[in-house]
Amino acid sequence: MKAAARWLAGLPAYLWSGWGAAASLLLCLALWEWAAGLYGDLILPDPRAALATLAGLFADGSAWPELLVTARRALAGFALALAAGSVLGVAAGLSMTAAMMARPVVTVLIGTPPIAWLVLALLWFGAGDGTPVFTVFVAAFPVVFVGALQGARTVDGQLAELAAAYRVPLPMRLADVYLPHVLSYLFPAWITALGISWKVVVMAELLATSDGVGAALAVSRAHLDTAATLAWILAVVGLLLAVEYLLLEPVKREVERWRGAA
């Protein structure tokens, strides 16, 4: 209740601080417009044409189903990566040996290009939901894992000692001493992982499925429809921005209020 009230109270200031972000986005639009004038409609239609196409896609009802399919796959892979990465990462962080053994494996996972995983996934799962979900999972998992591992490894020994001296029972020790610290590492990792998921899912769909935003992009490419391509890109990026700045960022601010950097 208190948190909700604080969120509402902080909302105007937060939205006001969005002017800076809006200004930089509008500057990008201006650059786009300028480049469109330079190269012509076939290479790069101007922003208004792309937005008009996007509005058309929403109006005739063809945008939402594709976006929902894509979102479902991205979120499924993201949720799996989030759960597995957080749990395994914290577990690995608790043991020095596990942490040392996990390091190179994670480096390999991060270093392997998602497109390589995609090819393997196509062989293993075929053309269905399995392929994009798996590719998203593999791409996002190591990022979450590393965040959780770092969080668990850097728990303050002095606070752990304090908890021991005050005979703090285990559930409270986890909730009050360890979790807030680990979360401060996990949260940024989750946000990064969400961005990765969103990007990778479109790539996977482009090659592996017949529906979703990726598949729609493949179609518009085949039709040499640059305006539709840009419209789909706008839709995907806009959705990611909305989720990150309207949902995750406020949650992060509330959870990390104790840092008081803002």
Partner 1 sequence: MTRAAASPRLAAHGVGHAYALRTVLAGIDFDLPAGRVAALVGPSGCGKTTLLHLVAGLLPLREGRIESDFATPACVFQQPRLLPWKSALHNIAFGLKAQGVARRERERRAHELGLRVGLAAEDLEKFPHQLSGGMQSRVALARALVMAPDLLLLDEPFSALDVGLKAELYALLAEHLAGRGMAVLMITHDLMEAVRLSDDVLVMAPDPGRIVARFELARPAASRDDAFVYHRTAELLQHAVVRESFGLPPLPAACTTPDGAAAGGLRVVARGGHPPPAHRGLQC
Query: Between 24 and 158, whose beta carbon lies closer to partner 1?
Result: 158
Binding mask 179-208 for partner 1 (x = CB under 8 A): -xx---------------------------
Say if CB 214 and CB 201 are below 8 A apart.
yes
Q: Does 19 bind partner 1 (CB under 8 A)?
A: no
Question: Which pair of structure tokens corresponds to residue 42?
Answer: 């076939």
Q: Does 164 bind partner 1 (CB under 8 A)?
A: yes
Measure the CA dihedral 40/23/255/77, to 10°.
Answer: 0
Can you list the alpha helix ranges (DSSP code H) found in 126-178? 130-153, 157-165, 170-172
Question: In the chain, what are the helix, strand and coil shares in percent, each to the nearest 5?
Answer: 85, 0, 15
Query: Between 91 and 177, whose beta carbon lies closer to partner 1?
Result: 177
Q: Which of 42, 169, 222, 224 binds partner 1 (CB under 8 A)?
A: 169
User: Can you tell me which residue has the tokens 């000692």?
Assistant: 161
Least distance in angstroms from the C-beta of 2 to partner 1: 11
Q: How far apart are CA 151 and CA 91, in angstroms?
A: 11
Query: Between 72 and 181, whose beta carbon lies closer to partner 1?
Result: 181
Q: Does 176 bind partner 1 (CB under 8 A)?
A: yes
Query: Between 48 and 257, whose beta carbon lies closer to partner 1?
Result: 257
Q: Which of 120, 155, 168, 218 binds partner 1 (CB under 8 A)?
A: 168
Q: Does 172 bind partner 1 (CB under 8 A)?
A: yes
Q: Which residues contact 50 (CB under 8 A, 6 or more apart)?
A: 227, 230, 231, 234
Size of the site for partner 1 (CB under 8 A): 20
Least distance in angstroms from the C-beta of 169 to partner 1: 7
- Give which of 202, 189, 206 is closest to 234, Cα–Cα: 202
Residues 229-258 that bind partner 1 (CB under 8 A): 257-258
Residues 132-161 that bind partner 1 (CB under 8 A): 158-159, 161
Q: Which residues contact 182 (CB under 8 A, 6 or more apart)?
A: 90, 148, 151, 152, 155
Q: Which positions touch partner 1 (CB under 8 A)?
A: 158-159, 161-169, 172, 176-177, 180-181, 257-260
